[in-house]
Every structure is written in structure tokens, then in C-alpha cells.
Amino acid sequence: MRAHRRLLVALALGVACAAHEPPQEPTATCPEGMVRIAGAQGGATPGDLCVDLSEVTTAAYAACVDAGACRPALLDGERCNLRDGARGDHPVNCVSYEQAQAHCEWLGKRLLSEGEWLATVQAGDATRRYPWGRATLSSELACVGRDEAAGTCPVGAHPKGASADGVVDLIGNVAEWVTVAARKGTMPGVAGGSWKTRRVAGIGDPEGTGQEVAPIVQPSSRRDAGAPTLGFRCAVAPFTAVQAIPDRPFVPLQEPAREHPRLAVPIARPRPTRPLANLTVLARIGEGTPPRTLWWPAEESFVGLDEASAAALGPLASESLAYDALPPGLGDLRPLHSLGSSFLLTGGWSRSTRFVALGREGRRVRWQRSMERYGASMVQAVSARALIVAIYADASDALVAFALDDGSELWRIDGASDCEINRVRQLWVDDDRLMVVGDRGLAAIDPQSGAFTWAEVAVGEGCGVVSGDGLVIVEAAEGGHRVIDGASGGEVGRLPLSSRGGCVWAMSAYDGGVAPAAIEGGVVFALDPPSARGITTLRAIELASGRERWQREGLSGGILVADHDAVYVERGGKRLVALAREDGAQAAEIWIDEGFVLNRAGGGGEAGPLLVAKGGTTGEWILGRGPEPALPERFEIRGRLVADEGVGKRRVSGVLVRVGDVRVRTDAQGRFVARGRARGAIPVAPGDERDPYELVKGGARIFRFDPSHVILDGSGSYDVGEISLYEWFSA
């Protein structure tokens, strides 16, 4: 046994990169680093067999790669030992069946058969369930039950688990490729469990099923299925000459870096040629509109449009993706970004999230990535060359980047207590920098290499961060918001913005927050913390001087978008308001829907730049600039309240109805008429949630009707028909 262990240590320290020596004439029964197994039946050479004392080490496999006889055993996104200079004495992993065969053949050896591997475990004792006997599997006996960060162990690190012949790591460390008899010849098999295994069924053990129980030998249908848990050892007939492993230090393999093309080019937002006062509705997708047939590219997403609407929006019609262009099996995906000759699609949620690059021509899938083996993901960003995905885990998060041209993994950053990131809250790309906000503050990363440009810029609890014009603004609860240089991460100034109520950019409007600030043309536009009634003030602050250029009061806080000559905000939670960027003067107002969201878009030609507004009940709106100023429509909207079952007919009389900004009461028959001037989707809703009501013994009954909208289309006169008044609450 001592001699065997000395041989094992020598093999574990074997190194790569030296020229190979010719096979030596055998002077012993088995070559150095191997042991004779008596009566190992079932192999190509029945009878005794020489078997590697340990699994093939990373250093030994690297020598085969250096000699040109083996392909690198490397997998995207996995902890493969060939990349780690400290794991030369660990078993090689991430190796496929063919790669294992190639290495054994390079040395003049071969893989073990299933029968030979089992005979090696039992060492002539048919009562043995495990190499060490019948004792229960434990981490003292084998390299098992380890987490992803720990991975493999050095070969021979568990001598108590060796077989009677001194063969180590037959159970645990890495599972081993073997050949298994099949109807037509042989097929790959996997034996022994790995460093991840917590339980393993021994030889003759009827307990061969269960979530954490690995059969001691099991067939594998895939020859190319390398994994961080898979390795191998070799065998040879006694008195056979084999190659020797060269004796040089192990040098980790580095995959050659290559320049990936810029594919996700930002959608161009043309400078406006028409006045902001010409802002109008170019297309709407919702009830009563043609069915969607195309995905049309906006700045941060795609919008479903009919072909006629898409064609009218300018040159980006050629960038659209037809609904029926998605092949079978991809119908649940949606486009995320245009990649020149292909589209990046996404779908699913959390661990089921997947990404697919689909060619424009021929509907061919170019590559795809599933997060199933990476972990849960809800946050992603797209740079010019890479898709960056945040992976959530129990202890810390990770960032993984995939090349947009072929889906290969570019880099991975695992968050940890001593890393610049631990938890990831926010992720976006600005000026070819990946910006990351987490519990360690703000960091900037090169999205091509994964190298940190700068990191750990403090961000207060619940405070927001925005970027633009080469600068980053970090919201602060006191002392003014900090201005950070995007290239260096250094603070270059403070902005005298209101801090009343603390940080509000990272909070939803429902929780008392406002939309994050926007930067455009050397000016930052920021909303004050809202009052108790949800009213806020917009301020325009010059970045260079800190001087307030103008302010606009009486706004809601849910929308803030700046674009060329305009700043878009909301009023009353339902109306989009367009303000001139230079002086804050109101240029246009359009009713959309309560709680609508707004994004910039490209294209549009003379009508550009475009906006996409999405309402909760009114659908999606494409806004741009028409040839003439868009004037409010003079409208008349009528309807009639009718009593629901159990509601007295007289109750419909005198009910307050709000129609846009107009409030009217119903007549004795429940009829109402409202007149006004506006554009967009005019809400028709109860004027007061406690009106009408009636007192009852011990409380009151309150009645209401469901809100609706009237889409103004130039008709001037509209009838919403009968509206049911029902009992809403009684106490």
C-alpha cells in the first residue's frame, strides 16, 4: 500500500507541456501509477488487468492537450479544472466520453468496462458493496457532498476510502466514464458518483433509485455530455508498454480571446424636424384595432403592431419580426433585441428563462441558452456585444455574459463577501459600460471582458441611480445628489436637488416614490418627493453649474422621460404632458390611462422621435409628430346609469360622474352628458367613491359603477351606452 501511495503522489504531481518519450519496454507487471486487479472479467482482455491508481489528473490531461492528441475539456459557464492553476493535482473534469477515450489511447491504454470497474471496486471480495467495504458513505471516505464553490478534491485525498488494492476515488470526486455492453457493441456509461453526490447505491444494493441516490454504474446516451462532475481513469493489459507523462509544472489552459462583433446597436432616435406641439397619436393597439401581426422595435422592447401601422412609422418596419416567423417551440418567446441578421428572443421566468438567437432568414436558431443549469434570473441587460444575466443564489448572486454572435460564455463573476458585488439589484448598459447596483453599491464593468472599471461607490439604502452624458447621478437623502464621472467612478460634484422625504427614485409611485431622474443635453431633470396628495414638482438643473433652469409644479411622479427637445411627465396619473426642454413650457397633453408607462422608440422618419405608451386598459399607443399642430378635440360624451339587481331605480339619479376633467350629475333617469376639449382616452368614472350612498341602520350602503374609457377619434360625439350601478359596500 505504501508503494501504491508513493506512485499515486508521483502521478498527481505529473505535469504537462514536455515532449513525449517513446513507449518503454515493460519491466514490471503494471506501468507506473497503475495496479494489477486480479480476475477483472468483462473487458477486452479477460483476466488480470492494470488500472490507474487515481483518476486522470488535470495536469496529465493538459499534457495530452499540449501534445495535440486531446481537445481541451472546457465547458461554458462551468468550473472546469483545466482553467484553474491550483487544480493540477485534481481529477480532470468537464471531459466527454470521446475526450476520455482519446487520452487513454494517447498513452496506449483504454477506458475500463463496466465489469472491470466493478471488479476494481471489489478487489476479489464479492461481498464488498463499496471499495472500503460495507460502511456508510461519508465525506471522510470519499470526496462527496460538496457545493459548487468547492468542487473536486485533490486525487488521493481520501485514502481511507481506497479499495483493497489501493485504488482511490472510485466513489466520489468525479464520476468516471466506462463502457457498457449494449445490443450492438458498447455504449458510454458513468460509474461511481461525484463530488456532488450525497448517497450512492453500492454493488448489489437494491436501493438504486431516489433523488439523491446515484446508481454505482449507469448508462449514458450522450457521448459529448461533459460536465464538471465527470472524469475518467484508464486500464491496460499487464506487461503492456505505455507512454510516460512528462514532468513539467501544470499551466492552466486559457481559451483564446477573440473580438466579438457589435450586434446590438442602439436604435437611432432621429432629432425632431417638427415642433413638439405637433405631438399626436400615430397608432394604437387595443380593442377595436387590427390584430397584431408584427413585433416592431422600440428602444427597450418590441411592440406588437399590425402591418399597416408598422409601415407608417418609418424605416424601422424592416427591423420588424412577423408573429408567424417564430418556429414551432418558440411561440412563447418574445423579441428582446435586434442583432442585425438575427433577433435575440427571450421567454420564461426565473430558472425557466431562456434566450434564443433566431436568424431573420430561414427562421434558423443560431444559438440558445437556458438558465435552468445556471439558476434563477430576473435581471438582464444587453450591450453591443453581450447579453449579461444576473443569477440569483441563496448566499450571493453572479453575473454571466454571453456573446451575442454565438452564445458562448464570455465571463462570469461570482458574488462573494470579498468581491465587488454580492447581491445585484439593478443592471443596465450606458456608454458601453455595464452598470451594476447592489448591496455593495455601484460598480462599472467592461461588458466584453468582465473587468471592473471601478466599484463600490456608495449608494444609500433605497436610493436610486441614473446615468447619461458620461455621468452617473447617485440619489442621496441629504447633502445633494452625488455626480460621478462614468469613466473613473470619482465624485465630480453635487446637485442641489430637494431631499425632503429621503430617497424616492427606487420606490414605486404607490409607495410614495417618483420616476428616476433623466439626463439630456447637459441638464438633469428630477422630480421632488411627492406631497401627501401625490403632487410633485419637476426641476431642471444644469449639470455644469448646478443652477436651476426652471421648475414645473402640479405633476404626478410616475413618468419622467427626456428626449432631444422634450421632457415627458404625467399629470393626474392619466395624462401624458410634453414640456419644452429649454423652458418647461407645456406643448401638448394627451390622455392615456391610469398608471401608464412610457418608453422612447426609434424610427418614425419626419414623425420621429417616437414614443410608446402602454396603458392598463387602453392598450399601447405610438406617439410622434404630425405635419401640423395637434389641437384638442371638442367632444360630447353621453351615457346612462341603470340600477343593478337589488339597487333601487331612484338611486341612479343625481350620481356624480367624472368625464376627463369634467364632472356632471345624472338626471332622474340616470342620464348624463359631458362636454369638453381633450385628446386621447377620456376616462368615465365615478366622481366620488362615496357618492351615491344611503344611510342604513348601523352604517351605510355605497354604490358605484366600473370605470371605462372613450377613445377620441375625431367624431366629436360619443355614447358609452348603459352603465350598471351596483352595491359596492355596506356596513
Residue 411 in contact with residue 472, Cβ under 8 Å?
no
Compute the distance between CA of residue 202 and CA of residue 217 in angstroms, rounded to an integer. Answer: 9
Note the pLDDT tens digit of each residue in 414-461: 887 678 888 999 999 998 899 999 999 999 999 988 999 999 999 998
Domain membership of residue 97 (yes or no) is yes
Strands 342-347 and 321-322: unpaired
Residue 673, strand partner residues: 638
Compute the distance between CA of residue 684 and CA of residue 697 in angstroms, rounded to an integer. Answer: 32
**pLDDT at 223 (0 to 100):** 56
Residue 455 in contact with residue 418, Cβ under 8 Å?
no
Same domain, 49 and 155: yes
Q: Which residues contact 715 (CB under 8 A, 6 or more apart)?
A: none
Compute the distance between CA of residue 121 and CA of residue 164 in angstroms, rounded to an integer. Answer: 8
Q: Which residues contact 394 (CB under 8 A, 6 or more apart)?
A: none
Q: What is the DSSP letter of 103?
A: H
Instruction: Tell me which of 631, 658, 690 is where a domain ends.
Output: 631
Same domain, 517 and 638: no
CA distances to 501, 509, 554, 589, 597 from 533, rounded to whole Å, are: 14, 12, 10, 21, 20
Residue 499 in contact with residue 477, Cβ under 8 Å?
yes
CA distances to 113, 350, 475, 482 from 479, rounded to whole Å, are: 72, 39, 10, 9
Domain membership of residue 333 (yes or no) is yes
3-state secondary structure of 143: coil
Compute the distance between CA of residue 250 and CA of residue 11 in angstroms, rounded to an integer. Answer: 12
CATH of the domain at 508: 2.40.10.480
Same domain, 556 and 675: no
Instruction: Give the three cell numbers for residue 28.
Output: 514490471
Residue 281 in contact with residue 576, Cβ under 8 Å?
no
Same domain, 145 and 235: yes
Q: Which residues contact 478 (CB under 8 A, 6 or more apart)?
A: 499
Same domain, 616 and 699: no
Nearest by Cα to 516 from 560, 555, 480, 474: 560
**DSSP string for residues in 542-594:** ETTT--EEEEEEEEEEEEEEEETTEEEEEETTTEEEEEETTT--EEEEEE--T
Residue type at 681 in one-letter notation = A
**pLDDT at 172 (0 to 100):** 93
Domain membership of residue 498 (yes or no) is no
Domain membership of residue 491 (yes or no) is no
Compute the distance between CA of residue 31 and CA of residue 50 in angstroms, rounded to an integer. Answer: 8
Compute the distance between CA of residue 406 and CA of residue 190 in angstroms, rounded to an integer. Answer: 30
**What's the CA angle centered on 493, arms 488 and 495, to 5 degrees?**
130
Compute the distance between CA of residue 731 and CA of residue 721 in angstroms, rounded to an integer. Answer: 31
3-state secondary structure of 696: strand
Residue recorded with cell 449514458: 220
Q: Is the peptide bond before 516 cis (omega within 30 degrees of 0)?
A: no
Same domain, 63 and 170: yes
**pLDDT at 256 (0 to 100):** 67
Residue 567, strand partner residues: 562, 579
Nearest by Cα to 138 from 122, 105, 160: 160
Q: Which residues contact 488 (CB under 8 A, 6 or more apart)?
A: 454
3-state secondary structure of 122: helix
Question: Into how many domains does the chain fold?
Answer: 4
Compute the distance between CA of residue 385 and CA of residue 258 in angstroms, rounded to an integer. Answer: 12
pLDDT-flagged residues of the chain (< 50): 1-23, 42-45, 208-213
Q: What is the DSSP letter of 10?
A: H
Instruction: Give the three cell numbers for residue 485.
Output: 464621472
Compute the distance between CA of residue 447 and CA of residue 26 in angstroms, rounded to an integer. Answer: 54
**Between the CA atoms of 310, 314, 320 and 324, what dihedral angle is there, to the nearest 10 degrees?**
30
Same domain, 180 and 197: yes
Residue 353 in contact with residue 377, Cβ under 8 Å?
yes
Domain membership of residue 223 (yes or no) is yes
Compute the distance between CA of residue 604 and CA of residue 624 in angstroms, rounded to an integer. Answer: 7
Tell me the HSE value of 377 on the side-chain side, using a 13 A CA sphere.
27
Instruction: Give the three cell numbers for residue 514.
Output: 417618483
Domain membership of residue 295 (yes or no) is yes
Instruction: Tell me which of 614, 631, 648 is where a domain ends.
Output: 631
Compute the distance between CA of residue 242 and CA of residue 30 in angstroms, rounded to an integer. Answer: 10
Compute the distance between CA of residue 58 and CA of residue 621 in angstroms, rounded to an integer. Answer: 59
Residue recorded with cell 450591450: 383
Compute the distance between CA of residue 409 and CA of residue 388 in angstroms, rounded to an integer. Answer: 10
pTM as predicted: 0.70
Same domain, 385 and 453: yes
Note the pLDDT tens digit of each residue in 244-273: 888 888 999 876 667 889 999 877 778 999
Q: Is the peptide bond before 206 cis (omega within 30 degrees of 0)?
A: no
Compute the distance between CA of residue 130 and CA of residue 161 in angstroms, rounded to an integer. Answer: 9
Residue 126 in contact with residue 119, Cβ under 8 Å?
no
3-state secondary structure of 382: strand
Count Cβ atoms below 10 Å from residue 422 Cβ, excluding itself.
16
**pLDDT at 696 (0 to 100):** 57
Instruction: Tell me which of 597, 631, 665 is where a domain ends.
Output: 631
- DSSP tally for the chain: helices H, then strands E: 5, 49
Same domain, 136 and 146: yes
Same domain, 109 and 219: yes
Domain membership of residue 6 (yes or no) is yes
3-state secondary structure of 61: helix
Same domain, 184 and 52: yes
Compute the distance between CA of residue 285 and CA of residue 304 in angstroms, rounded to an integer. Answer: 8
Instruction: Give the three cell numbers for residue 96.
Output: 466527454
**pLDDT at 14 (0 to 100):** 35
Name the residue range of residue 672's domain: 633-730
CATH of the domain at 647: 2.60.40.10
**pLDDT at 84 (0 to 100):** 92
What is the pLDDT of the chain when averaged over all its residues? 86
Instruction: Give the three cell numbers for residue 700.
Output: 351605510
Note the pLDDT tens digit of each residue in 125-175: 888 888 998 888 889 999 999 988 899 999 999 999 999 999 999 999 999
Same domain, 641 and 622: no
Compute the distance between CA of residue 697 and CA of residue 717 in angstroms, rounded to an integer. Answer: 43
Instruction: Give the three cell numbers for residue 457.
Output: 461607490
Domain membership of residue 465 (yes or no) is no
